[in-house]
Structure 1
Amino acid sequence: MTASPAPATLTARAQQASSRIVEDILTLVRHETGSYDLPSLATGLDLLRELTVQCLGRPDHERRHSGGACGDTLTLTYDGTGAGHVALVGHYDTVWPTGTLAGWEQPEPTEDGRERLGGPGIFDMKTGLAQGIWALRLARETGAPLPTVTFLFNGDEEIGSLSSRPVIEELAQRADVTLVLEPSAHGAVKTARKGTGIFQVTATGVESHAGLAPQDGASAITALSEFVVAAAKVAAPDRGTTINTGLFKGGSAINVVAGHATAGIDIRVGSAAEQARVDEEFDAIEVSDPRVRIDIDHAWNRPPMTLNSASVPLLDLAREVARDQDRGHLPDTAVGGASDANFVAALGLPVLCGMGAVGDGAHAQGEFIYVDTVPGQTALVAGLLGRLAEPLRG
């Protein structure tokens, strides 16, 4: 670990560059990149690469990993002058379908006059992408020793990082530390996140005519309705476990007893023990009609994230940088959402999440950022890079 660039210099440079950072944020937001729109994801990643090269020059190493049915993953590596290696991870896909931008209304300033900017994905997490790119530029401009930095931009985080997970895990194992540029929690870094399950439950019943022979049918819809009501009771909010059936479909016609139905269930857990309990209790659910078969796809997408021992020195270092930059104490927090940091933490590797935007409203029409926080968040990441020119030691 080496001495960081002068905090005042970084902060001042970030303030001076603020308008250009915000313009890059808006450039990314203006190009919509919904998780299921592959053509838009492809051009969005091209745009993100172009902005990175404009800001930092051509990378020393570059690789584009095909996502197949998902958005591609791009890694760009800029060699440093020190022995350290930092991974900066962020996703460019959003939950918003193409066309959302046209009807988006900009938020009014707050009552005390703070400027806010809104747009699909501006908070989660295009602001973090731009801030991460500019953080390396600002750190370079100080002339201080710097680590090698690898950016990883993935286009499938919002749907589970189905193709990018192995790329993320491989990079995290090569790097000394990973900083995930997801939005902050009102300025706090995120050191604990819930694990997520995306379960698909299928009910297979017996079709029959709803008027002529209803007794011959076994309704998959009725049985699956019983199942999801029972599944909701498995939730234990006091232990951090929530369960939400967000999708439900089935049947073939109004006058046919349904022979097929499916439900998509979102599960959040705070511990591996809760994950095991949910699995066991879901498998024990019974429905009233034995003619209906219930099949459960126990698809655990992300393991729970906790502040592991490897991440404690990284959090301490981030707090030192924040104090040096006159930010005061940098808080950390646990949140219910999951991110790609979950994968890194589960490997026992050092990681901090929530290094990006300050704002609110992720996945909601009102998502926004506070413009006045952009320089400070950028300077924080830049300051950390300056302290990681040599590998972090616990």
Structure 2
Amino acid sequence: MTALPAAALTARAQDVSPEIVTDILTLVRHETSSYDLPGLAAGLDLLHSLTVHRLGRPDHAQRHPGGECGDTLTLTYTGTRAGHIALVGHYDTVWPTGALAGWEQEGSDDGRDKLSGPGIFDMKTGLVQGIWALKLARESGVPVPTVTFLFNGDEEIGSPSSRPVIEEVAQKADATLVLEPTAHGAVKTARKGCGIFRVTATGVEAHAGLAPQDGASAITALAEFVVAAAAVAAPGKGTTINTGLIKGGSGTNVVAGQATASIDIRVSSEAERLRVDDALDAIRVSDRRVRIEIDHAWNRPPMTLTASSARLLDLAREVTREQGRGDLPDAAVGGASDANFVAALGLPVLCGMGAVGDNAHARGEFIYPDTVPAQTSLVAGLLGRLAEPLRDCA
């Protein structure tokens, strides 16, 4: 295993930092809402062109149709050694098209410059840093692994079309680095599993004034259900349950015949997932004429720090120490990402290798541009560490 020359690498990243930031802003200024298919298609074309501009044409490229979601693009650049690393990131954002208009894009925090924009933190900065990391690693002249970039356009809605591609790419790689934003500079080694359950209550309609006794209110029953569901939460075990959406009924003078609720559930372990499933199925409402149906829609399994991922974390920490940054912190977070899928396969993965900033999914989301060189250097240095397969990196 050969380490990249830390001082030269970090100095070079600092020199090209203005170009990296320019590329970040280029992506941010093209809006890519998860629900805007034309915008996603054009955004992926832009990302593809940017990658080719910085790295040249890949040895293999494939665009996987997303159907009702954004497409997934895989680009493979053959390395000089046997190692193979996947760099994964999504280009879709939670922001509806048009959010950029009137967005304050620059500011400061106690005298420290900030850059803001829809998706700049989550996670277009990470995408660009990943591209430049490979560029810097290759230009350093030391051995580098084969790198497969995977850019998907549906992460913010659960990665329904890209999940099989992510799993296939991860299984062919020695390790996966997910370019999601950091947790205030820390890599993310544990994430909650999550699901969005849809609960449907079907009752009996009746006139609310003339014959209320003939009705069975779906709304009343659903209200009972969501209160009982909230009691299933176990924050001490990392399990949260939030009913975020409710709709139902047809009129104020009609006993409601149907109502639905969408419930966000987060768990830290497989045991808790099973417990929640059983507990929700066991809930009974007082009016037995109302039928309750639950769609157990788990979309990401929990991510925990496995032995293989711990080895990857050790290598990343070696890189940060060599680059003069001290120990690299790690964190467990409540949000989920595509790293959850990789971890569930028992494969080595680190998440949160991207931007340093804050306010994901909030209008003030931002990055600190002065952290861009260090974060890019970290990924570049780790690629050098992984020029050989992970099992050989001792």
Output the TM-score relative to the length of structure 1: 0.98
**1:128-183, Cα deviation, whole Å (9 max, x unpaired):** 00100010111111111110000000011111110111100111110000000000
Q: 1:132 aligns with which of 130, 133, 136?
A: 130
The residue that corresponds to 1:172 in the other structure is 170
Q: Distance in 2 between matches of 1:247 and 1:27?
A: 35
The one-letter code matched in structure 2 to 1:63 is Q
Q: Does the residue aligned with 1:11 lie in a helix, a strand or coil?
A: helix
Instruction: Please say if 1:25 is aligned against 2:24.
Output: yes
Q: Distance in 1 between matches of 2:122 and 2:309?
A: 23
Q: Is the 8 A contact 1:219 1:259 kept in 2?
A: yes
Q: Distance in 1 between matches of 2:134 and 2:255?
A: 61
The residue that corresponds to 2:337 in the other structure is 339
Q: Is the 8 A contact 1:117 1:370 kept in 2?
A: yes
Q: Distance in 1 between matches of 2:218 and 2:62?
A: 47
CA drift of 1:218 comes to 1.2
Q: Distance in 2 between matches of 1:250 and 1:207?
A: 12
Q: Distance in 1 between matches of 2:174 and 2:107?
A: 42
Uncovered stretches (5+) of structure 2, i.e. residues with no partner = none
Q: Distance in 2 between matches of 1:103 and 1:241?
A: 38
The one-letter code matched in structure 1 to 2:135 is R
**1:7-46, Cα deviation, whole Å (9 max, x unpaired):** 1111011101111111111111111111111111111111
Q: Distance in 2 between matches of 1:38 and 1:212?
A: 49
Instruction: Please say if 1:91 is aligned against 2:87.
Output: no
Q: Distance in 2 between matches of 1:298 and 1:79?
A: 41
The residue that corresponds to 2:267 in the other structure is 269
Detail structure 1 runs of 4+ shifted over 3 Å in the superposition: none
Q: Distance in 2 between matches of 1:170 and 1:345?
A: 13
Q: Distance in 2 between matches of 1:259 and 1:57?
A: 60
CA drift of 1:121 comes to 0.7
The residue that corresponds to 2:315 in the other structure is 317
Q: Is the 8 A contact 1:196 1:302 kept in 2?
A: yes
CA drift of 1:122 comes to 0.6
CA drift of 1:107 comes to 5.4
Q: 1:157 aligns with which of 155, 158, 178?
A: 155
The one-letter code matched in structure 2 to 1:240 is G
Q: Does the residue aligned with 2:391 lie in a helix, a strand or coil?
A: coil
Q: Is the 8 A contact 1:188 1:333 kept in 2?
A: yes
Q: 1:356 aligns with which of 351, 354, 357?
A: 354
The residue that corresponds to 2:117 in the other structure is 119
CA drift of 1:226 comes to 1.1
Q: Distance in 1 between matches of 2:281 and 2:168?
A: 33
The residue that corresponds to 2:41 in the other structure is 42
Uncovered stretches (5+) of structure 1, i.e. residues with no partner = none
The residue that corresponds to 1:243 in the other structure is 241
Q: Distance in 2 between matches of 1:231 and 1:104?
A: 38
Q: Does the residue aligned with 1:103 lie in a helix, a strand or coil?
A: coil
RMSD: 1.0
Q: Distance in 2 between matches of 1:107 and 1:389?
A: 38
The one-letter code matched in structure 2 to 1:12 is A
CA drift of 1:215 comes to 1.8
CA drift of 1:5 comes to 1.8
The residue that corresponds to 1:106 in the other structure is 105
Q: Is the 8 A contact 1:107 1:366 kept in 2?
A: no
**1:185-219, Cα deviation, whole Å (9 max, x unpaired):** 11111100111111111111111222222222111
Q: Does the residue aligned with 1:108 lie in a helix, a strand or coil?
A: strand
The one-letter code matched in structure 1 to 2:273 is Q
Q: Distance in 2 between matches of 1:114 and 1:302?
A: 36
Q: Distance in 2 between matches of 1:51 and 1:210?
A: 62
Q: Does the residue aligned with 2:367 lie in a helix, a strand or coil?
A: strand
Give the percent of matched residue pairs that are identical in Structure 1 and Structure 2. Answer: 79
Deviates more, 1:93-102 or 1:350-359: 93-102
Q: Distance in 2 between matches of 1:239 and 1:51?
A: 43
Q: Distance in 1 between matches of 2:348 and 2:271?
A: 23
Q: Distance in 2 between matches of 1:18 and 1:206?
A: 64
The residue that corresponds to 2:58 in the other structure is 59
The one-letter code matched in structure 1 to 2:359 is G
